[in-house]
Amino acid sequence: MIHKHKQYYFRHLKDDIPAGIVVFLVALPLCLGVALASGAPLFSGLISGLVGGLIVAWFSGSQLAVSGPAAGLTIIVFNAIETLGGFQGVLVACVLAGIMQLCLGYLRAGIIGAFFPSAVIEGMLAAIGLILIIKQIPHATGYHTSYEGDESYMRETAESSFMELFDAFNGISPGSVIISVVAILLLMLWGTAWFKKQKLLKLIPGALIAVIWGVGYNLLALKFFPQWAVRGDHLVNLPVSEKAIDFFNNFVLPSASYLDHLSNPKVYIVAVTIAIIASLESLLSLEATDKLDPLKRIGPTNRELKAQGVGNIISGLLGGLPITAVIVRSAASINAGGQTRIASFTHGVFLLLSVMFLAHYLNYIPLACLAAILLHTGYKLANPVLFKAFYRKGMSQFLPFVITVIAILTTDLLKGMAIGMVIGLFFVIKANYHAAITLTQDGTHYLLALNKDVSFLNKALLRKFILSIPEKSTVTIDASDAKFIDHDILETIEDFLETAPDDDITVEVIELHGKEKIKKHQAIVILNDRAEV
């Protein structure tokens, strides 16, 4: 079995390593951005990215989910630092949250991931695609006010993001625009059928070409056309260690003060909050990743909760931010051709190498390159074709989809998903409401079929159908497909059987016995091979 697994991973190395490089290029500035927005040390974002790539990738049951620091938890961490009197309190809460997630995994709480309607998941993906476009246009034009919100849509940035979008056109940097536009064209070109057929070009990810283009252009512009170059604050900004060994000094290991935080009740409140939100975001991301997987593999939800739990325990112990499965990175991996967990692991390896040895060189990368990669990913997630496809499926699918998109854009990821779930649930109940009882007509004969489980919720519909049956009709009440019939439903049928002779209606009842007993009636009733008069 182990040998087969090795062969499987080796067979896909040609796809996974380039995809891992793409995810690394996307994850690097976002790890720093989430840390910056959280008010935490910049290195804490890199630690959580490393743990997500190097450790969680192997504990997770999903081949394609990529984990790391999530912007959805940013405001929680930011407030917790103030509430708990420092970042170390957050680290303790992160470890406790990880333990809680482990327990949730063993309690099989991952089953809640199966109750997200498909239209709502697709709506979340489309919303994230639009968010990426909205958030990355300022970076692509060279207008940068903050890093936060690049992967999520936090409440405090919802309005400001649209303002930034308009402001971006007032503060255009020519160099950034040239870099991002050419990078997007390169990515589109790399995705054409002709390029995909070229064996040599297929091995090189389009995102890598986009980054090489950006670095090359900017170095030449700085030398020959300074006015067309990108300024330093529009470049990646990594902390640079003089020696590789200095890298390890950035870790924050547990100390005696941990015990002081454990006696603080507020730490446990923060821990529960992190555990719940991180678990929900991870399950949502896992569900969305499964939807995007070309091979349609299904990641085990309980194992994912355990993996995220282990990740948060380790991240907290090393000085990192809370971790979740992140759909943006997972989508970037899939779009770049990733096939297995090696892609996520590769992104972790490159994060490690970059921080230890290459930080100085990575600081040459213009943020406009990375914005172009995310804009391309965002377009794929929010492709107009998807909206048309859901419209053709009917309002029961289109409305949950589009309302989820709007709700996420106007609130945040979790609130938007909650609104989408409520709308989706309404349509599910509505569909079941009508499917539980059906009435069909053939001349003067009516067939009233009771399907599946018929609950008291269907009482009003049953009465409506009964009242629509005219005098001098023949009615068959077929309950052969029903597994359960509520007592209220049976009472309504009893009342109909008693009043039917008054309207000269003949009723035949099929397989109603066994679900509930019905009283004997004065009316002529044929009981399916058990005639009683």
**Which stretch, 158-172, 202-216, 266-280, has highest mean pLDDT?**
266-280
Write down the CATH number for the domain with range 443-526. 3.30.750.24
Q: How many helical (H) and strand (E) elements, i.e. helices and strands, does the chain have?
A: 24, 9
Query: pLDDT averaged over the chain?
Result: 82
Residue 255 DSSP label: -
Distance CA 14, CA 409 (A): 37
Angle of CA points 389, 390, 394, to nearest 5°: 115
In this prediction, residue 47 carries a pLDDT of: 93
Among 315, 310, 283, CA closest to 48: 315
In this prediction, residue 168 carries a pLDDT of: 58
Distance CA 245, CA 227 (A): 39
Cα distances from 445 to residues 188, 276, 466, 500, in angstroms, run 61, 55, 13, 14
Select the more confidently predicted residue: 433 or 96: 96
Question: Can you tell me which residue has the tokens 């482990």?
Answer: 102
Burial of residue 504, with CB atoms counted within 10 A of its CB: 0-12 exposed, 13-18 middle, 19 or more buried: exposed
Domain map of the chain by residue range?
Answer: 2-114+186-381, 443-526
Distance CA 413, CA 214 (A): 32
Confidence of residue 305 (pLDDT cuts 50, 70, 90): very high
Distance CA 479, CA 440 (A): 14
pTM for this prediction: 0.68
Distance CA 97, CA 92 (A): 9
For a pLDDT cut of 70, what percent of the chain falls above it?
86
pLDDT(250) > 80? no
pLDDT in tens, 432-467: 666 788 889 988 899 998 887 787 778 888 888 898
pLDDT(46) > 50? yes
Query: What mean pLDDT do residues 374-396 have?
Result: 88
In this prediction, residue 58 carries a pLDDT of: 95
pLDDT in tens, 514-529: 554 443 343 444 444 4
Distance CA 164, CA 166 (A): 5
Range with the poorest average pLDDT among 263-277, 306-320, 343-357, 456-470: 456-470
Nearby residues of 383 by Cβ (< 8 Å), 6 or more positions away: 129
pLDDT(262) > 60? yes
In this prediction, residue 522 carries a pLDDT of: 37
Distance CA 129, CA 523 (A): 63
